[in-house]
Every structure is written in C-alpha cells, then in structure tokens.
Amino acid sequence: MCGGYQLLGQSYTTVDGQELPGAGLFDVRSLPGPQRHIGNVLVETILDGQSRTLVGFENHSGRTYLGHLTRALGKTIVGAGNNGEDGTEGAVYKGAIGCYLHGSLLPKNAWLADRLLATALRHCLGADAELPPLDDQLENHAHDSMASRIRAGGRVKSGAW
C-alpha cells in the first residue's frame, strides 16, 4: 500500500529529480506530483473474473504510471487513484496487488482479505487448499455503507481538502 506500492515498482523519482530504483515487482514508475490526493476512494475491479468494488482512503502526492506488463487493479469511480489522470488505481501482477488505498482496506473489503489469504494458503499448501467461508455479513454491510456514502458525495477532485 502507498509507499510500499511505489517501492515495489521499477523506480521512484524524488522531488529533487533523483531516480531511485525500486524492487521491480510491478512494471510501474512513480513521480512526485504538484498536489496531494486526499480523500475517500471507490474503485471498480475485476479479479478472478468477478466484478466488485473496493472502498478505501488515499493520501499521496505520488503519480504512478503503469507499464505494459502490469494491469490496473481497477478503475476509479471516485478519487485520484494512481495518478489523477488515467482513472486507474493500483496494479496487479500474477498474485501480487499494489495500491494507494489506505483506511482499513482489508476490513472494509472482506472479499479482498479472503482472496489474499486464500492465495497465500494455496501458495504454501498447494492448489487444493481452501479456507472455510466466514460470515462476512457485518463487513459487507460496512463496505456497502461506505460505498454508498462515497457515491453520494459524487466525484471528488483530489487535493480539495
């Protein structure tokens, strides 16, 4: 998330123009921006063939641009996302996910927490490993309430706070 996401890319350029190498997991490059993007975020995503929404909070001035080897985690409905320009948020490469979303990302998106845990479990124990389903009713209600609240606020220009 956020700074970790930037560091997992190919590079991050500092405010004074110094290009720092990243870990190279994601084919992304991050640059400093002229303003901070602060506020609630709503993202449409398709993971594992299923369309869902993510809710979170962003607070960053970095601008991250995807290369051709990495696909976006999703499209922003509300919020700046990766760079405030192309409508994308986050990156997905193989089983790895990076994003700018803060604000209790996993508790507010129980399905994503379940997906990450299941991926790790399968990686350690094999393809047949499965988690028993939990009752996510409260978490799903919190997600839906937050998504409705963000939608009701309309498209918010980042940096407006």
Whether the per-residue pLDDT at 129 is higher than 90: the answer is: no
Quick check: helix, strand or coil at residue 34?
Answer: strand
The mean per-residue pLDDT over the stretch 149-157 comes to 73
H or E element in which residue 15 lies: none
Whether the per-residue pLDDT at 156 is higher than 50: the answer is: no
Single-letter residue type at 55:
V
Catalytic (active site) residue 124:
no
Q: What is the pLDDT of residues 9-24, one digit of tens each?
A: 999 999 999 999 999 9
Q: At what angle do helices 137-152 and 110-125 cross, to 10 degrees?
A: 130
- Note the pLDDT of residue 127: 80
Whether the per-residue pLDDT at 159 is higher than 70: the answer is: no
Candidate list 60, 99, 102, 141, residue with the active-site label: 102
pTM to 2 decimal places: 0.88
Candidate list 2, 37, 99, 143, residue with the active-site label: 2
Single-letter residue type at 145:
S
- Note the pLDDT of residue 102: 84
Q: What is the pLDDT of residues 57-114, one digit of tens each?
A: 999 999 999 999 899 999 999 999 999 999 999 999 988 999 999 878 898 999 999 9
Alpha-carbon span 108 to 141, nearest angstrom: 9
- Note the pLDDT of residue 119: 87
